[in-house]
Structure 1
Amino acid sequence: MSDTELWYTLALLRVDGVGDVIAKKLISHLGSAQAVFEAPKTQLAAIDGVGTRLLKNLKNTAVFKEADNELNFIQNNNISYCFYNQANYPERLKHCPDGPVLLFGAGNLNLSNSKMISIVGTRQITNYGVDFCKKLIEELSPLNPIIVSGFAYGVDIVAHQAAMDCGLQTIGVLAHGLNQIYPKVHKKYMAKMEENGGFLTEFWSSSNPDKENFVRRNRIVAGISEATIVIESAEKGGSLITANMAIDYDREVFAVPGRITDKYSQGCNNLIKAQKANVLTSAADLVYVLNWDLQQKQKNIQKQLFVSLENDEQKIYDFLVKSGKEQLDSIALACNLPVFKISGTLINMELKGVIRPLPGKLFEAI
């Protein structure tokens, strides 16, 4: 996108009555944001959704001054940007009708990785949530996914930190412009975040972290990823809004179950009870539902001559060598291990290259 077209696009987004959906419709019909401003009224009026008021607003030249200011900010602060119909725009977000026309970025972003998951949850994360989040990301790290969250307190920042600790790219989706950070206490994480991914936002430098911006931000978190994971949530909360947005976008949703007496497990338990979310007890659950291929990763890992197996792993391996292909439930029954425990054990064994998954929840020894 040229600077000229970016300038016209910025101006179009500042026109009163033009949101992401209308902007895309106008650009689609006329070919560019510049063409929208240059088109005669008769041509604009023929487009569905364009009425007298919008025609008048499109002639308001004040929007070009605002576009000047934002373009100067972008150019003077090394801000990257991506347009909704260009190759560098997040692929899954292209299929969201209300996805942002423009996204602004800071850091070392690579949005081409297809394995992208969003992790959300309460700002009052418990020790249970912290431990689960860290373990989940550690187990997924051999598959090199991108971890997306909102850079807020609680689950968000734990997920970002865990991703960075595992050497994974992580993206913070912000509810304000890139000229500031919220919450301010998280400023200490910015440099490392930008080295290991960075930040995305649809908001301009003139935007503050207002309450309504967080709901808008959540649709990006939900739409950009293959799946949204809710670690912990009270009965009501922003993470549940994100989960429902992900459902509306036809994305997979996972929720971590907890005790019925735990306040910050109620939201997750309700999602599972309403069959809106898959139960998530380990990384193996996510890998299975998303059909991520562990074997491809194994090809890049030098096979060890002598693989060290834990007691439970050895028990499972011996059973599969003797029995051949078996389903997860059969393995759990034969080895006298609970299913929730065996799921994580199996993924570790896959990463060690001693077993492999097959269609139909089957596993076999290699």
Structure 2
Amino acid sequence: MTDQQLIYALALQHVPKIGATTAKKLINHCGSAEAVLKEKASTLLKIDGIGTITIQGLFDKIHLEEAEHELKFIRDNNIITHYYTEDTYPERLKHCIDGPIVLFQSGNINIKQQRIISIVGTRKITTSGVAFCEKLVETLAEFNPIIVSGFAYGTDITAQRAAVKHNLQTIGCLAHGLNQIYPKVHKKYVAEIENHGGFYTDFWSSDNFDRNNFLKRNRIIAGLSEATIVIESAEKGGSLVTADIANSYNREVFAVPGRTTDSQSIGCNNLIKFQKAHLLSNPLDVPYMLNWELEIDKKPAVQQQLFVELEPDEKIIYNFLKDNNREMLDVIAIKCKMPTYKIAGILLNMELKGLVRPLPGKLFEVI
């Protein structure tokens, strides 16, 4: 991406009333961020869902001016940028409708690795919570996953330091620009995190520090990963928001249960009670449910119906699975270039036709 292209992408990202979802809609319609900012307002208003309030201030020159300032910060500090259509942009995050159009990175992240999990939880983690979190990372180390979290107090830093200890890659998703670190006491961990991964954020160096930023960044924590694990949580908390977002992305969610009298277990217990998360009592539950090591006994081949008529989209999915043996729902959606919700419905119809079968970890294979 050239500097000029990046400036226009940043300028579009800077417009207050245009979020990532709307920005992508405009870019897809016009062809590029630059084309959006050079298009006539009357043309943009013809796009479904775009109104005068949405594009209010879109053509203000301040956005390009601020984008140029941010580009200077990016270049001066060797910040890596990932545009949402580029190959370097995290694959799973590409499939999230509200994923940022520009993602900023510091460190040495290699996101191509497929096994990525998020570990979140309360900032007031208990001794038993710390013990479980550390045991979880230690147990999963042999599978070499990337550990994602928010670099905050409590659960986040426990999980990320455990990842470093076991020489795993770890990613901290920040709720502010890369010109600062919060909490400040965690500055001492920055170097080791960047040596074993790094940091992602979609916030600018000029963005004000705001508590609402933490809720916004949670979509990146959930979007990067195939599964989100909640170690401990009170009845309300940011980690529950992350779990809800992960569920909305059709990703797996796990929660560690606790005693009903423990305040820091109420959130996890509720996730399990309302079937929003798998009960996680043993670290090995994770690789089992995600099919990291599961060996499925070969069942006798099921005689397929002869001359089953396939719809065009069914043919695409069937041929993909036939060539790839078995694959995760999200990956099928990405490779077949269809939204997840549509893929899920088509796979159900194919299952009823006796063409595919579901496996643990949201995997599917041809029968």
Deviation of residue 267 (structure 1)?
1.0
Report the AA paired with residue 209 of structure 1.
F
User: 1:276 & 1:18 partners in 2: Cα distance?
Assistant: 31
Which residue pairs with 1:151 in the alignment?
A: 151
Tell me, in whole angstroms, the C-alpha distance in 2 between the residues paired with 1:198 and 1:52. 39
- TM-score using structure 2 length: 0.78
Q: Distance in 1 between matches of 2:176 and 2:152?
A: 12
Give per-residue Cα distances to partners, 1:317-356, cap 9 Å, x unaligned. Answer: xxxxxxxxxxxxxxxxxxxxxxxxxxxxxxxxxxxxxxxx
The aligned residue for residue 106 of structure 2 is 106
Deviating more after overlay: 191-200 vs 260-269: 260-269
Which residue in the other structure is 2:213 paired with? 213
Q: Which residue of 2 aligns with 1:352?
A: none
User: 1:15·1:58 contact (CA, 8 Å) conserved in 2?
Assistant: yes
CA contact (8 A) 1:231 1:268 kept: yes
Aligned residues of 1:143 and 1:294 also touching (Cα < 8 A) = no
In the alignment, is residue 43 of structure 1 matched against residue 67 of structure 2? no
Does the Cα contact within 8 Å between 1:116 and 1:145 map onto a contact in 2? yes
Equivalent pair of 2:109/2:198 in contact (CA under 8 Å): yes
Q: What letter is aligned with 1:65?
A: E
Alpha-carbon distance in structure 1 between the residues aligned to 2:259 and 2:49: 49
SS in 1 for 2:29: helix
- Is structure 2 residue 236 aligned with structure 1 residue 254? no
| Cα separation, 2, equivalents of 1:228 and 1:59 | 39
Q: What is the match of residue 229 of structure 1?
A: 229
Question: Any stretches of 5+ residues in structure 2 without a counterpart?
Answer: 296-358, 361-367
| Secondary structure of 1:47's aligned partner | coil
| Residue segments in structure 1 that go unaligned for 5+ positions in a row | 296-358, 361-366
User: Partners of 1:188 and 1:175 in 2: how far apart?
Assistant: 18
Question: What is the aligned-residue identity percentage?
Answer: 59
C-alpha contact (below 8 Å) 2:9/2:34 kept by paired residues: yes
Conservation of the 8 A alpha-carbon contact between 2:17 and 2:56:
no
Structure 1 56/215 Cα, relative in aligned 2: closer, same or farther at 3 Å? closer
Partner of 2:306: none
Q: Distance in 1 between matches of 2:213 and 2:95?
A: 21
Cα pair distance change 1:264/1:55, threshold 3 Å: closer
**Structure ID, larger Rg:** 1
Q: Which amino acid aligns with 2:156?
A: D
User: SS at the partner of 1:52?
Assistant: coil
Distance (Å, rounded) in 1 between the aligned partners of 2:116 and 2:63: 35
Q: 1:56 to 1:226 in 2, by over 3 A?
A: closer
Letter in 2 for 1:255: A
**AA paired with 2:71?**
L
Q: Say if 1:170 and 1:29 are closer, same or farther in 2 by CA, change over 3 A.
A: same
Does the 8 Å CA contact 1:227/1:254 hold for their aligned counterparts? yes
Q: CA deviation at 1:258?
A: 1.1
Residue number in structure 2 paired with 1:318: none
For the 8 Å contact 1:37–1:58, the answer to whether it is kept is yes
Correspondence 1:61 to 2:84: no
Say if 2:177 and 2:204, in contact at 8 Å, map to a contact too. Answer: yes
Task: Answer yes or no: is the 8 Å Cα contact 1:21–1:98 preserved in 2.
Answer: yes
Contact 1:255-1:271 within 8 A present in 2 as well: yes
| d(CA) in 2 for partners of 1:55, 1:202 | 21
Quick check: 1:16–1:54 contact (8 Å CA) kept in 2? no
- Determine the C-alpha separation between the residues in 1 that align with 2:209 and 2:52: 33
Q: Distance in 2 between matches of 1:180 and 1:41?
A: 37
The structure with the largest helix share of the pair is: 1
Aligned to 2:180: 180
2:277 is aligned with 1:277:
yes
Per the TM alignment, residue 138 of structure 1 is displaced from its structure 2 partner at its CA by 0.5
Distance (Å, rounded) in 2 between the aligned partners of 1:185 and 1:165: 19
Q: Which residue of 1 aligns with 2:163?
A: 163
Q: Deviations over 1:286-337 (max 9, x none)?
A: 1111111378xxxxxxxxxxxxxxxxxxxxxxxxxxxxxxxxxxxxxxxxxx
Shift in Å, 1:91 = 1.0
**Cα drift, residue 16 of structure 1:** 3.5
TM-align CA RMSD:
1.5
**Separation in 2, partners of 1:247, 1:42:** 38
Shift, 1:55, TM fit: 4.7
| Greater Cα shift, 41-50 or 118-127 | 41-50
How does the TM-score come out when normalised to structure 1?
0.79
CA distance in 2, matches of 1:66, 1:272: 45
Greater mean deviation of Cα atoms: 53-62 or 142-151: 53-62
